[in-house]
Amino acid sequence: MAEMTYLEGISDGLREEMRRDEAVFCLGEDIGAFGGAFKVTDGFIDEFGADRVLDTPLAENMIIGASIGAAIEGMRPVCEMQFADFISCGFDQLVNVAGKLHYRQGVSVPMVVRLPSGGGFSGGPFHSQNPEAWFVQAPGLKVVAPATAADAKGLLVSAIRDPNPVCFMEHKGLYRHVKGDVPEGEHAVPLGEARLAREGGELTVIAYGSAVPLALQAADELDEDIEVLDLRTLNPLDTEAILASARKTGKVLIAHEATRSCGVGAEVASLVSERAFESLDAPVRRLTAPDVPIPFSPPLEQAVLPQLDDMKEACRELLAY
């Protein structure tokens, strides 16, 4: 075990896989000589050389397209969107080509798209989004969203080894604020398995990414019997874990930083009401950002993104229901 930040966990997982498997390489904007906008690939070019740490033009369409080609030819590309927001420029390649090749032609596309996402630092509408729901809705893509340093490493390793295209949502707000013990050397966390982050009996908060530490802090400060389930993988969802916890507590709050409508929270809420209806003791509720772009102004951004007080208030209301 070594204490690492969330960001170091990602770097460590990527480095381990590149050392283990020559087919793994990474590409993206300024990831080589500069080490990446957030320094995830800092020093990689010295260890692995410019052939495996490729600096690309500012063309997300090309980055994803090239990754698909390499994956089809047997490589395992890990491409970085400098900000998750920019993925929209590569949308067609990812959703229509990568996601469907297996269904159309039986061709496996083992690639990972790293998506630095999330707000909270006054990045404005183009550098703060949480676009995971776009990809959860696109068949053929897996979507992963770690909340801890150990999962950041372990899920990235599994994403690289997975035969499918995987969207890896890494939250920028967690990069340097979340620290934890991370197993050294080989560490893989299976995709599709949620993590019980806190055990409780009165209320389940189902969260992922930046909402997980928020939920844990709220539960601790409220000092109530709250269970926190960290989804970790958004597609495929760990339906059994979700239903087991919902049936146990009978009260469910789903929390994410992404916008509300047709988001992951909506899907989980639907699952719970369909399959755990007779165990429910309260309406299934969501705590999310409203359906607006992320404002640049710090007080407005605070008003839009779920804050600790919002989380505590939502928990209190459901507990009292």
- Residues identified as active-site: 127
Nearest distance from C-beta of residue 278 to other proteins, angstroms: 5
Strand (E) or helix (H) holding 104: helix 101-105
Whole-angstrom Cα distance, residue 233 to residue 147?
10
Of 126 and 277, nearer to other proteins (C-beta) is: 277
DSSP-derived secondary structure letter, 198: E
Single-letter residue type at 34: F
Nearest distance from C-beta of residue 277 to other proteins, angstroms: 5
Nearest distance from C-beta of residue 317 to other proteins, angstroms: 6
Would you say 295 and 274 are in contact if contact means Cβ atoms under 8 Å apart?
no
Single-letter residue type at 287: L
Of 103 and 277, nearer to other proteins (C-beta) is: 277
Exposed, middle or buried, 59 (CB in 10 Å: 0-12/13-18/19+)?
middle
- CA Rg, the chain, in Å? 19
Nearest distance from C-beta of residue 248 to other proteins, angstroms: 10
Of 291 and 317, nearer to other proteins (C-beta) is: 317
Of 57 and 320, nearer to other proteins (C-beta) is: 320
Exposed, middle or buried, 104 (CB in 10 Å: 0-12/13-18/19+)?
exposed
DSSP-derived secondary structure letter, 278: G
> For binding to other proteins (CB under 8 A), which residues are involved?
202, 247, 250, 274-282, 317, 320-321
β-strand partners of 168: 114, 144
